[in-house]
Amino acid sequence: MLAGLLGAPVLLMAACSSDSSDKGSGGGSTPKTSVAKITVFPADGTTDASFTEPVRVTVADGKLGSVGVTDSTGKAIPGQLSADAGSWTSSGPLASGTKYTVAAVAADRDKLEADANTSFATATPANTFVGYFTPEDGSTVGVGMPVSIRFNKAVTDRQAVQEAITVVAEPGVEIVGHWYSSTRLDFRPETYWAKGTRVTLKLRLKDVEGVKGVYGTQSKDVRFTVGRSQTSVADLKAGTLTVTTDGQVTATYPIIGGAPEHRTWAGKLVVSEQFPQTKMDSTTVGLGDEYNIPDVPHAQRLTASGTFIHGNYWAPASAFGKANLSHGCIALQDVKGAADPNTNGAKFYRSSMAGDVVEVINSGDKTVDPSNGLNGWNLSWADWNAGSAV
């Protein structure tokens, strides 16, 4: 009896073991996984990836089905899948200092899928350049105001930089860029802007390689409006300044121009700055100690080298319209302290704005260098276009 009782559990255990083996390979097997292996470059977790290199996704033992690369705002980066679906390469530019995520799916020969989800960040360039622009955003300017950009580093790839900058106008007009030097690029239409024109400068310099290893940082729009149309003609033989506003002569003032030994530049000169009062010192323009006037009234800059049209309180009233006595500037009668709004200097200043044009004729001097100030209107349209890099 005892032997039989001990044997029963043994038989039961054997029966259980036999039952398990009879289930075959179906119910208890581990599911198969895809043998496709996806590799992403830059690698997951990279924090200083090059923004000039594309994103590359490859697969071994399979074919890619989908690849998506997006930045932190959700913007997708376009790319191209190879003909054999073995690789994908981004075709759109990456931005510096930006985090990206990659999601890729591939399938092996058995249609089993594998996926990869990674992220990386691009580096911020160590060497950068910027462009300082004129006029300012939101300003209202005269019809002669060009768009002028000065770079803080000399540009060697002028084409790449110019292609990253566009200037558009409403109403539309052709606008062309002209390089004066490796650090200055100006834009203008063939003729003066029409009054009321709305102009937009679009700077897309971020990550543009202007110099080897030196990249732009700006991506912004600058907007300005052209105000009323005002141009003036300073006839230094007749001694007059004739002002035309919106097609009508609105004022004529007697003036003083440059003396024979200091003639005023000829040509079309654009007002670039305005000062109710300013100091003028001859030592700053290479004329020794000939003058030092701390309070020149109603001064408007016409050249970078120091030509102004301004009020004058020290010359005798009889000289205006009769004699050219200045060191190259154009002067209108005014008072010390710029306090009288009824002087010619004050009235002309009040009617003017940056971007207005003063055309100097009969000065006896040569035409101003177009790069001396904002005076590109002294170049023909053909010569202006010849300075474009695109």
**By the 8 A CB rule, do 232 and 357 touch?**
yes
Distance of CA 372 to the CA centre of its chain: 22
Q: Does domain 128-227 have CATH number 2.60.40.3710?
A: yes
Per residue in 301-315, pLDDT (tens digit) is 999 999 999 999 999
For domain 37-121, give the fold.
Answer: Immunoglobulin-like (2.60.40)
Residues of the chain with CATH 2.60.40.3710: 128-227
Per residue in 338-358, pLDDT (tens digit) is 999 999 999 999 999 999 999
**Whole-angstrom Cα distance, residue 76 to residue 310?**
56
**Whole-angstrom Cα distance, residue 57 to residue 37?**
11
pLDDT at position 22, please?
Answer: 43
Which residue is associated with the tokens 């003083």? 256
pLDDT at position 27, please?
Answer: 52
**By the 8 A CB rule, do 365 and 375 touch?**
no
- Residue 8, classed as helix, strand or coil, is helix
Give the active site residues.
310, 329
Which residue is associated with the tokens 């007002």? 271
Per residue in 141-176, pLDDT (tens digit) is 999 999 999 999 999 999 999 999 999 999 999 999
Phi, psi of 8 (to 5 degrees): -60, -45
**By the 8 A CB rule, do 171 and 197 touch?**
yes
Residues of the chain with CATH 2.60.40.3780: 37-121
CATH superfamily of 230-373: L,D-transpeptidase catalytic domain-like (2.40.440.10)
Average pLDDT along the chain, 390 residues, taken 10 residues at a time: 38 37 51 95 97 97 98 96 98 96 98 97 97 98 98 98 98 98 98 98 98 97 98 98 98 97 96 96 78 91 96 96 94 97 98 98 96 98 98
Per residue in 315-328, pLDDT (tens digit) is 999 999 999 999 99
Supply angle C-alpha 273, 181, 269, rounded to 5: 35
Helix-, strand-, coil-residue percentages of the chain, each rounded to 5: 15, 40, 45
**CB-side neighbour CA atoms (13 Å) of 126:** 3
Which residue is associated with the tokens 């390979």? 25
Residue 24: count other Cβ atoms within 10 Å of its Cβ.
Answer: 8
Supply 21's token pair: 């083996």
pLDDT at position 284, please?
Answer: 78
| Angstrom distances, CA of residue 90 to CA of 95, 121, 122, 139, 206 | 13, 15, 14, 40, 19
- Model pTM score: 0.85
**DSSP assignment, residue 122?**
B
- Residue 272, classed as helix, strand or coil, is coil
